[in-house]
Structure 1
Amino acid sequence: MSAAYWPVAGLLALFYLHAGRLKAFRSRDGLRPMMAWVDDVPMPAVRALGVLEVLGGLGLLLPPLTGVAPWLSLAAAVGFVVLQLAATRVHLARGDRRIALNLSLLLAAAATCWLATTWL
């Protein structure tokens, strides 16, 4: 396994574990200051997105650590690339041009995809 995988995937996983936990458990009012788009999305969809982010974060970490189904880490990273492409589109459609975080997460997820393929 590439030693470079762990810092990139680890930070990406920590971000998504935290963000997913917030989306899964906070109220719409608690999320609104950080995520204005929650007003446009039904709360069950926000909750589902949060659960998927937590599962994806675990998918980046657990398969390589346990050696069980290591291809799941690549699947999780690809899922995060797709997620950030969609998130960027949502921000731009709402007229929100603050997409630097989305682009950073997209690049980190793409790098994680590449690093995950070097040891599969």
Structure 2
Amino acid sequence: MNIALWIAAALLALAFLATGLLKITQSKEKLAAAGLGWTESFSPSAIKAIGVAEVLGAIGLILPAVLDVAPVLVPIAAVGLVLVMVGAITTHVRRKETPMVVLNVVLLALALFVAWGRFGPYAF
């Protein structure tokens, strides 16, 4: 089970690091032109804040455990990403963007799995 948790955390970290950096480095207009229509409903600073939350969550899933410095931050980061995904699902449901909802539910499930495992029976 420990290996499955590491794989889930690594997949989540890669996904959130990539999408978070995209939100931080690209303008709102470029993001909208790239197919992220939800950005029309948010200010540029809110989009950047979401990106920062995603990058910090990605870092928090891996580094504390690898460095063995405050590994309790791993499940806390997973819970933070669960909250980000709840917000994303809510936004996409309101905008009737079903394919994005499905992707967000998968990411939410992975983050819940990591939070459950690392807070519970498979803590570091």
Provide, for residues 31-79 of structure 1, a one-character-per-residue CA deviation record: whole Å limited to 9, x for no partner. 1133111011000010111011111100000000011111111111001
RMSD over aligned Cα, in angstroms?
A: 1.4
* Whole-Å separation in 1 of the counterparts to 2:97 and 2:83: 19
TM-score, normalised by the number of residues in structure 2: 0.90
Q: Which runs of 5+ in 2 are unaligned?
A: none
> Does the aligned pair in 2 maintain the 1:21–1:50 contact within 8 Å?
yes
Q: Does 1:44 align with 2:48?
A: no
Partner of 2:111: 109
* Whole-Å separation in 2 of the counterparts to 1:89 and 1:80: 14
Q: Does 1:96 align with 2:97?
A: yes
For this pair of structures, how many residues does the alignment match? 120
* Whole-Å separation in 1 of the counterparts to 2:41 and 2:50: 14
TM-score, normalised by the number of residues in structure 1: 0.93
> Does the aligned pair in 2 maintain the 1:60–1:77 contact within 8 Å?
yes
* Whole-Å separation in 2 of the counterparts to 1:52 and 1:74: 15
Partner of 1:7: 7
> Does the aligned pair in 1 maintain the 2:28–2:47 contact within 8 Å?
no
**Where in structure 1 do 4 or more consecutive aligned residues deviate above 3 Å?**
none
